[in-house]
Amino acid sequence: MKVLIGTTNPSKLRRFEELLSGHGIEFFSLRDLGIDTEPEETGKTPEENAAIKAAFYGKYFDKVVCNDSGLYFDSLPLDDHRQPGLNVRAPEGKRLDDEEMIEYYSKLIASLGGKVLANYLDGIAIYNCGKISTYMENSEATRASAFYMVSEPTSERNPGWPLDSISINRNTMNYFTDKSDNKYDTTSENIMLGEYRQRLVEFMTKALGMEEFILTRPTGEYACQIAEYRQEFLDAGDSMDGTGPLRRVENPEEYIKICAEYENSQTVPSHLVPATQLFFVRKSDNRLVGMLQVRHRFNDYLEKYAGHIGYSVRPSERRKGYAKEMLKMALPFCRELGLDKVLITCIDGNIGSEKTILANGGVYESTVHEPNSDRDLKRFWITI
C-alpha cells in the first residue's frame, strides 16, 4: 500500500513510519511528489485542520495521512492571545523558522515565570479514496502527558521538532532532546503512551482499509448477516458472484446446509463440481464483508468462462481494497487443494475487478464471449 504523509517535515514522516511499521506501507512525503502548495487552515481544532489538509492532498493521492497539533499552556486561558493553540508555527500571524520559534517561546515563557506546564493536542485525518476519517484524543487525556517548557533552551536540536529544545520531562527533568531520556519515565505514563499508540494505530489501520480479516466457512453464527448480505445485493440490483446458491436460497440455514453439500464430492449435485464457500470476515466487528467460492476442479463451463474463483464484496463495503485482499487470502487455500495455478475471469470493461486480479499476479490470456449473454469475459491466470 502506498500512502502520502501530508508534510515536508522528516520527523513527522518518521513518526508515522514507526507507528505503522510492519504493515507493508510505502510512505511518500509532499517533497517526494513535488507538491509545494498547501491549503488555508481555517479549522478551530487540530482535528478540523488535519481534515482540511487531508481533503486538499487527496487531490494528489488515493490514501493520505495528515495531522495538525495545538500547543497549550496551563497557565494561560484558552482565549488569551498569547496561548499558542493552533498557531504554534505562526504566533501573532508571523511564520517562524525553527530558531525563531525557540527564541519566541523562550521569551514568552520567561514572561510567565520561566517555566510552564504544557501539553500538545494532536488531530489526525486520513483520506482514503474520497472518504475522510478523523481522530483526536480529548483534552483531559492529553493533559495527563503534560510536560514543562522553560525559558532556557538547550543547545541540542531535534530536526523538525524545534520546541523539544525548551521542553522538559517533568519526571526526569531532562530535555526532550536528550536521546538517553525516556520522556514517559513512570510505569503509568508508559502504559498511557502504549494505550494511546494502540488507539491511534487501530484508527489508522481501519481508516486506511488495513483491518485484519479471516476466511471462514459458512456457519449459523452468520445467519443474520447472510440474509443482510443477500438483501444488499437485491436492493442494489447486483449479481451475487462467488456466493453459490445465495440468490435462489432465501433461508440462511438452508444456504449453510447446501454450501456444506457442495464441498463434498459425495453430496454435490451431479451437474456441479465440488466447491468451497468462504466468508471474508472483518475481525474487529465480525462483519461479513465479502464472499468467494473456490471450485476444486473444472467442468466445461468453468474451464471456458467462470474459472476457479468467484467473489464479491457487499455494496456497502466497496472501494476499500477488500476484493484485492480477499483474493490474496484465497490463493493459499487453492494451493492446499493441490492447484498450482487458478483461472479467474471478469467482465470486459470491469476495471475494478481487472485491477484486483492483476494486483494478485494475474496474467491475461484471452477474451471470450459467454454464450446466451451479451457480455465478453477476460480470462486471467494466477500462478500460486
DSSP code per residue over 167-236? EE-TTT--BTT-TT--SS-SHHHHHHHHHHHHHHHHHHHHHTT---EEEE---GGGHHHHHHHHHHHHHH
Question: CB-hemisphere CA count at 13 Å for 46?
Answer: 22
- Residue 211 — φ and ψ, nearest 5°? -65, 160
pLDDT attached to residue 182: 52
Set of cell numbers at residue 178: 536528550
Q: Is there a contact between 209 and 219 (Cβ–Cβ < 8 Å)? A: no
Q: Where are the domains of the chain?
A: 2-207, 213-383
Q: 85: helix, coil or strand?
A: strand
Q: Is there a contact between 70 and 45 (Cβ–Cβ < 8 Å)? A: yes
Cβ within 8 Å of residue 108, ≥6 positions away: 82
Q: Which CATH architecture group holds 213-383? A: 3-Layer(aba) Sandwich (3.40)
pLDDT attached to residue 139: 61
* Domain 2-207, CATH class in plain words: alpha beta
Other beta carbons within 10 Å of 107: 11
pLDDT attached to residue 261: 98
Each residue's pLDDT, cut to its tens digit, for the chain (384 residues) gives 899 999 998 888 888 988 888 777 889 999 999 999 999 999 999 999 999 999 999 999 999 999 999 999 999 998 899 999 999 999 988 899 999 999 999 999 999 999 999 998 889 999 999 999 999 987 666 666 789 999 999 999 988 889 999 999 988 899 999 876 454 444 444 445 567 777 888 899 889 977 789 999 999 999 999 999 999 999 999 999 999 999 999 999 999 999 999 999 999 999 999 999 999 998 878 999 999 999 999 999 999 999 999 999 999 998 878 899 899 999 999 999 999 999 999 999 999 999 999 999 999 999 999 998 999 999 999 999
pLDDT attached to residue 191: 47
Handedness of CA 353, 354, 356, 361 (dihedral sign): positive
pLDDT attached to residue 180: 67
- Residues 287 and 317: their CA atoms lie apart, in Å, by 10
pLDDT attached to residue 186: 44
- Residues 313 and 321: their CA atoms lie apart, in Å, by 10
